[in-house]
Amino acid sequence: MIDNQIPDLELSIVKSNKLVETRNHLSVLQQRILAVAFSRLKPQQERFDWMEIPMQALFTSRVGLRQYELVSNALKEMTTLTMDVSAKNGKYWRSVPLLEAEGDEDRRVVRVRFIENARDLLIDIDTAEGYTSYLLGHVWSFKSSHTFRIYELCKQYLSLGKRKVSVVFLRERLGLIIHPVGKKNRNNEILEDADLKKLKTRYPRFNDFETKVLKVAQEEINTTSDILIDYEKVRSGRAIEYIVFKIERNPDYVAENKQVKLKLPKVKPAAKSEQRTLDIPFEEVEKAEKTEKEIYAEQYIANQKGVKNPEAYKMKLMGDDAFHRQFVQDTETQKVQEAEAERVAQEKQRAQELTELEEKWAQEYGENYKKVRVPYCQMVNQKPELIDSFREWYMENGSSTGKREVLERIANRKLESGDWLKFGTYMIATIGTAEEKTWYLSADPRKYVEARREAWRAEQQNTPVKEPIENQAQSPLFTGFEDL
């Protein structure tokens, strides 16, 4: 039971373009009832079920007997509607009723159900004819019945950005022209060049038609729906013959699950003998190439189970706002993942380049090490007293960490690279010039080595060199030895 419940405005409505092109004049209340019923359709359902229309959703005031009678009368009139479908050559036609309804006066509830014979127009939509989809919330705030129709006719051409229609065509689709017998051609199509003066027409003066229909619809659509429309008038002589609608998405649209107070209409029940028809022309609709969203929908359906009509389900998904948000989210996530993967790949490539540079550095370091170590070894062999002096100096000034091991290496004349650095430091401290001693006391040799290394990297990579450490003028004695 769904009585007294606001409908979900996020539900999608998918209509065949045959239905969008129908000629009718439903009231606001009838348009809302039909919109709620369409939003309950499911592409994979095997049969049409009875749907209880939530009375409270249709009115902001307290639901009473008057509201129930209004809805009941509106539904009784809607059950007299039939859809006349004819082929282009006019040799085949079919008249199909749209829905049936029932009500319970004691409980003040109404229920509707679509006719099974209309399945191919409601669910099994012919993709060649095209379809139009939107959310229930996109049309829920409309207060004019003409706004519903103009919105659908414009939304149908949103992807193209504009739609040109004759004034006669637009009046017919809004139900403002009642054609007498004999005003159709042999192909059962409405005559576009009909003389409006000979027809029973509401708002025969264009100024009235523009003020009470076009401008009202434009204001409601632009302020409460997901699209923006504007229009231009095209004249033929003194008369306005065509309307060119310009259509685009509304970037400021925010869906709101709210109700709009309806002006209660006076709906008279239709006589049993009255039958209103919806004339449906066969207009060619260009097939567009598959979009990313369509491909995403097909992949989504392929992962589902029990989908009996994939094409219809795809149409439903394409008009579903929640599905659209999921598509946008997944698309953005995929872009982020692709960007992250590209960043990781670039970092790996960069790391590989640095590894190659490090190997090159190690090779040059080894060559420099040989150039420096050999002369010092010769110096030690020629003047062993220098090593003894170094040992005594290190015992007094060296770090306690590892001192014993270093002293043993000194005694055995097996100095390592770090020992040679210490030995070089000793040489500067003991026999260096005043300038060399000043340099040594104001700078850390290890930082100097690192600075030289960074300078070498910058030279190899053609990048700016870091600012040198102050007071690290290269010592004559330290030339070549710093690369250790």
pLDDT of the residue at 293 = 76
Mean pLDDT is lowest, of 73-87, 146-160, 174-188, 324-338, for 174-188
Do 399 and 356 belong together in one domain? yes
pLDDT value at residue 467 = 44
Q: What is the average pLDDT across 311-321?
A: 75
Q: Which of 100-109, 371-380, 419-428 has maximum average pLDDT?
A: 100-109
Mean pLDDT to the nearest integer, 350-355: 69
**pTM of full prediction above 0.75:** no
pLDDT band at 281 (very low <50, low <70, confident <90, very high): very low
Per-residue pLDDT of 157-191, as tens digits, reads: 998 899 999 998 899 888 887 654 444 444 444 44
417 domain-assigned = yes
Give percent above pLDDT 70 in the chain.
53
Least confidently predicted of 19-33, 260-274, 339-353, 434-448: 260-274
Q: Which one is predicted more confidently, 391 or 364?
A: 391
Q: Taking residues 215-241, what's their average pLDDT?
A: 92
Question: Does 385 share its domain with 336?
Answer: yes
**Whether residue 461 sits in one domain with residue 374:** yes
Q: Is the pLDDT of residue 297 over 70?
A: yes
- 477 and 336 in a common domain: yes
Residue 191's pLDDT is 43
C-alpha Rg value of the chain to the nearest Å: 43
Higher per-residue pLDDT: 260 or 458: 458
Judge whether 227 lies within some domain.
yes
The residues pairing with 231 across neighbouring beta strands, listed in sequence order, are 245
Which residues, 6+ apart, have CB-to-CB distance to 456 below 8 Å? 361, 364
Average pLDDT over residues 130-144: 87
CATH number, domain with residue 245: 1.10.10.10
**233 with 175, same domain?**
yes
- Which region among 192-201, 202-211, 271-280, 305-314 has the lowest average model confidence (pLDDT)? 271-280
In this structure, are 84 and 171 located in the same domain?
A: no
Q: Are residues 21 and 164 in the same domain?
A: no
83 lies in a domain? yes
The length of the chain in residues reads 484
Specify the pLDDT at position 177: 79
The predicted pLDDT at position 151 comes to 95
Clarify whether residues 334 and 479 are in a common domain: yes
Q: Does residue 77 surpass a pLDDT of 90?
A: no
pLDDT at res. 453: 62
User: Between 4 and 343, whose confidence is greater?
Assistant: 343
Spatial CA neighbour of 210 closest among 186, 185, 174? 174
What local confidence, expressed as pLDDT, does residue 257 receive?
43
Q: Residues 391-397: what's their mean pLDDT?
A: 65
Q: What integer pLDDT is reported at residue 387 of this predicted model?
A: 62
Rounded to an integer, the average pLDDT of 45-54 is 81
**Higher model confidence: residue 126 or residue 233?**
233
Same domain? For 472 and 360 the reply is: yes
Residue 231 has pLDDT above 60, yes or no: yes
Mean per-residue pLDDT for 47-59? 78
Q: Are residues 151 and 123 part of one domain?
A: no
> Does the pLDDT value for residue 218 go beyond 90?
yes
- Residue 272 inside a domain? The answer is no
Q: Is 292 inside any structural domain?
A: no
Q: Is the pLDDT of residue 436 over 80?
A: no
Average pLDDT over residues 350-374: 58
Of 224, 257, 290, the domain-final residue: 257
Q: Look at 422 and 217; give whichever has higher pLDDT.
A: 217
Q: What is the pLDDT of residue 215?
A: 95
Same-domain pairing of 10 and 37: yes
- Average pLDDT over the chain reads 70
Domain final residue pick, 282, 317, 339: 282
438 lies in some domain = yes
| For residues 267-281, average pLDDT | 43
In a domain, 303, yes or no: no
Over residues 382-390, the mean pLDDT reads: 61
Q: How many structural domains are present in the chain?
A: 3
Bridge partners (DSSP) of residue 227 are: 249
If asked whether residues 477 and 343 sit together in one domain, one would say yes
Kindly tell me if the per-residue pLDDT of 245 is higher than 80: yes
Domain assignment present for 342: yes
Domain, as residue range, for 96? 1-137+277-282
3-state SS track over the chain: CCCCCCCCCCCEEEEEHHHHCCCCCCCHHHHHHHHHHHHCCCCCCCCCCCEEECHHHHCCCCCCHHHHHHHHHHHHHHCCEEEEEECCCCCCEEEEECEEEEEECCCCEEEEEECHHHHHHHCCCCCCCCEEEEEHHHHCCCCCHHHHHHHHHHHCCCCCCEEEEEHHHHHHHCCCEECCCCCECCCCCECCCCCHHHCEECCCCHHHHHHHHHHHHHHHHHHHCCEEEEEEEEEECCEEEEEEEEEEECCCCCCCCCCCCCCCCCCCCCCCCCCEEEEECCCCCCCCCCCHHHHHHHHHHHCCCCCCCHHHHHHHHHCCHHHHHHHHHHHHHHHHHHHHHHHHHHHHHHHHHHHHHHHHHHHHHHHHHHHHHHHHHHHHHHCCHHHHHHHHHHHHHCCCCCHHHHHHHHHCCCCCHHHHHHHHHHHHHHHCCHHHHHHHHHCCHHHHHHHHHHHHHHHHHCCCCCCCCCCCCCCCCCCCHHHC
